[in-house]
A and B are shown apart, each in its own frame.
Chain A
Amino acid sequence: MKKFFREHGIWVLFATAVVAVALALMSVFSTTSSPLTNLAGVITSPFRSAYTAVANWITDKQNYYQDVTALEEENTSLRRENAQLRAQLRQAETDSEENARLRELLNLREQIYDLELETAMVTEHEVTNWTSSLTLNKGTEHGVEVNDCVITETGALVGVVSRVGLNWCTVLTIVDTDTSLGAQVYRTKDLGLAVGDFSLMGENRLRLDYLPADCQLLGGDLVLTSGLGGYYPSGLEIGTVEVVQPDDSGAASYAVLTPVADFDSLVEVFIVKSFDIQS
């Protein structure tokens, strides 16, 4: 053994180092994952799906035995909410008709909000304690690309695709330290940058930076993607304001946000492959 390593050890070391550097370079310069990463993902993909299927089966069984009383209470409150939503829908239909008439009157172009979506299943949640990520079962063969947004069925932003292979992709959630998005507070129209912060990541929180020092945000204010720069669609729900604090310089403020999406319970998500938003 010692002889083997004395004779060949340096070459083994050299070859592995070359592979590592090549992987790093390919990752930097390629828009999709390097071939080896892609292959590793494709090989492990069935295992991920199998583990998830077993885990989902166990979760289903647990849910089945949950308290029926709690479900009945939830059902009652949902019926009440449903009635309110129907009333709001009727009002919205009236408003929409009025909006169309007014647009016609003022000769305005109709707003286009068109997202091309791809449904995907979550096959893996966080894999390390230093990142907040999800692995999905869709990849380049379904038209998924790096930097595509991922949303829930309610339009809440989950994260951004960071690595993509043939039939898999890794999504960094919005609380991960590598994620930053242009954001706007819905009520006040203040612009900021929603960024992951490692100190907050464990609590599933993120920061909204570069707010004006005198911003008038309130707890619960909704924060949406601003769409500035055209990288991501506008109007996707990022989170709600939890607390506002001045930053270290005192010249600006930052807010701590609670994401709208609950990452731990996600099973199915939607990848925004392309979008067309004009007003």
Chain B
Amino acid sequence: MLARSATIFKWSLYAGATLVFFLLQGALLQRISLWGVIPFCFPILAAVLGMYEGPLPGSIYGLALGVLCDLLLPAAIPCFYTLVFPAVGLCAGLISQSLLPAGFVCAAACSLPAFFLTDLFHCLVLWAQGHEAWAAGAWLFLRETCVSLPLCVPAAALFSAVFRRTHLDD
């Protein structure tokens, strides 16, 4: 059980870690194109935090991260990431609680449904707007996942450090 100050401290550290990845995405990743796609770290962040903290905190973090992404990134609908990332956090929390112990392998395993949900929702929105593109969406999902998956390692390392630093008694 964490005291209120410890809770605030922990979420401040998570916010700082998130900021690091926002800077990394803006300064470096979106200027790199590998296999025709830009590495995209935000679904991984929602998945990794859900993996360490569990389904409910993961969902709430996903919601906050989604709002932030919707403020900064263009999307087909205004609250796109706000709708997707809580589901990503929830999935990751459930996977780490029932299938795999939290760690690098689990982070990679949680990132797969993260990209799947995000890209599936993109395809659904395109389909609803009359721009059906399932095959192109599936191809992009494959490339985006392959190119972005290595980011699981720094994300899991950073969030693991915060988790261990703030859960000394667990």
Interface residues of chain A, those whose CB is within 8 Å of chain B, are: 1-5, 9, 12-13, 16-17, 19-21, 23-24, 27-28, 36-37, 40-41, 44, 47-48, 51, 54-55, 124-131, 133, 162-163, 170, 172, 177-178, 196-199, 202
Alpha-carbon separation in the docked complex, A89 to B57 (Å): 68
B99 within 8 A of A: no
- Contact among B1, B36, B64, B144 with A16 in the assembled complex (CB-CB below 8 Å): B64
Q: Which residues of A contact B79 (CB under 8 A)?
A: 20-21, 23-24
- Contact among B57, B78, B140 with A27 in the assembled complex (CB-CB below 8 Å): B78
Q: Known contacts A20-B63, A198-B126; is A41 also within 8 Å of B72 by CB?
A: yes
Interface of A is mostly: helix
- Contact among B64, B72, B144 with A40 in the assembled complex (CB-CB below 8 Å): B72
Alpha-carbon separation in the docked complex, A67 to B26 (Å): 31
Is there an interface contact between B131 and A128, defined as CB atoms closer than 8 Å? no
Alpha-carbon separation in the docked complex, A48 to B31 (Å): 12
Alpha-carbon separation in the docked complex, A41 to B72 (Å): 7
B70-87 vs A, Cβ < 8 Å mask (1 yes, 0 no) = 111111111100110000
Closest Cβ of chain B: how far from A169's Cβ, in Å? 11
Interface residues of chain B, those whose CB is within 8 Å of chain A, are: 1-2, 4, 7, 10, 23, 26-27, 30-31, 36-38, 40, 56-57, 59-60, 63-64, 66-68, 70-79, 82-83, 119, 122, 126, 129, 131, 133, 135-137, 140, 144
Closest Cβ of chain B: how far from A19's Cβ, in Å? 6
Q: Known contacts A19-B67, A133-B74; is A199 also within 8 Å of B136 by CB?
A: yes
Q: Which residues of B contact A40 (CB under 8 A)?
A: 68, 71-72
Closest Cβ of chain B: how far from A150's Cβ, in Å? 14
- Contact among A21, A55, A126 with B38 in the assembled complex (CB-CB below 8 Å): A126
Alpha-carbon separation in the docked complex, A139 to B26 (Å): 20
Closest Cβ of chain A: how far from B160's Cβ, in Å? 17
Alpha-carbon separation in the docked complex, A193 to B77 (Å): 22
Is there an interface contact between B72 and A9, defined as CB atoms closer than 8 Å? no
Shortest 10 CB-CB contacts between residues of A and residues of B: A198-B133, A40-B71, A27-B78, A199-B136, A20-B82, A24-B78, A24-B79, A16-B63, A1-B2, A177-B131
Pick 25 A–B contacts, CB within 8 A, sort by A.
A1-B7, A4-B4, A13-B59, A13-B60, A20-B67, A20-B70, A24-B77, A40-B68, A41-B71, A41-B72, A44-B26, A47-B23, A48-B26, A54-B27, A126-B30, A127-B72, A128-B38, A128-B75, A129-B144, A196-B131, A197-B133, A198-B131, A198-B136, A198-B137, A199-B135
